[in-house]
Amino acid sequence: MKRLTTHSFMKNFSPEIRPASATDVSAMFKVRASVGENTMTADELSAIGVTPETIALAVTSAPCAWVATIDEEVVGFAMVDLDDACLFALFVLPKHEGCGIGSRLTRICERALFERHPAAWLETANGSRAARLYRHLGWGSEVEIGGGDIRLKKQRP
């Protein structure tokens, strides 16, 4: 009999994905702080204008963020800039990576962006898991932007 691991169980368990609310912001920051790639401290995030206050304002101002939850725990989130056609944040708790959460969040972001724009873009580290995911989901037109980062684009289908 095949042993059921947490990872194989999670692949068969579908988290709920819903629009984020201001009450999710603290959990979103916990997810952001947990990642193994693209790590940033609270001070580094604050220096670029990413604070709980600015994220709460963004979430309440426009339909620009979604959270993935399992048993009401936020296990991932994504955010877009609807005006700039940019998918600018997508993070999943490390213990839930590889379970399809990032793909589902990406598709939701794409739908929101493509409702307003013929193309969307994002930036990520060239050799990251995120870059592999985005390429797999059809993001391309790759341009190196320095520091090991790339810009990817995707056209509306």
Residue percentage of the chain with pLDDT more than 70: 92
Q: Domain holding 27: CATH number?
A: 3.40.630.30
Whether residue 143 lies inside any domain: the answer is no
Whether residue 52 lies inside any domain: the answer is yes
- With contact defined as beta carbons under 8 Å apart, do 76 and 65 qualify? no
Whether residue 127 lies inside any domain: the answer is no
- With contact defined as beta carbons under 8 Å apart, do 43 and 22 qualify? no
Q: How many CA atoms lie within 13 A of 102 on its CB side?
A: 22
Position 139 pLDDT exceeds 90? yes
Whether residue 142 lies inside any domain: the answer is no
Residue 22's Cβ-count burial label (10 Å; 0-12, 13-18, 19+) is middle
Q: Which of 118, 99, 82, 144 is CA-nearest to residue 6?
A: 99
Number of structural domains the chain divides into: 1
Position 116 pLDDT exceeds 60? yes
Quote the tokens at residue 71.
Answer: 């048993």
pLDDT number for residue 43: 80
pLDDT number for residue 2: 39
Neighbours of 55 (CB within 10 A): 25
Whether residue 7 lies inside any domain: the answer is no
Whether residue 61 lies inside any domain: the answer is yes
Q: Quote the domain boundaries for residue 40.
A: 17-117
- With contact defined as beta carbons under 8 Å apart, do 77 and 24 qualify? yes
Position 8 pLDDT exceeds 50? no
Position 64 pLDDT exceeds 80? yes
pLDDT number for residue 54: 87
Q: What is the pLDDT of residues 72-94, one digit of tens each?
A: 999 999 999 999 999 999 999 99
Whether residue 96 lies inside any domain: the answer is yes
More confident residue, 46 or 83: 83
Whether residue 126 lies inside any domain: the answer is no
Q: For residue 80, what are the β-bridge partners? A: 87
Q: How many CA atoms lie within 13 A of 23 on its CB side?
A: 3
Quote the tokens at residue 80.
Answer: 């877009």
Position 104 pLDDT exceeds 80? yes
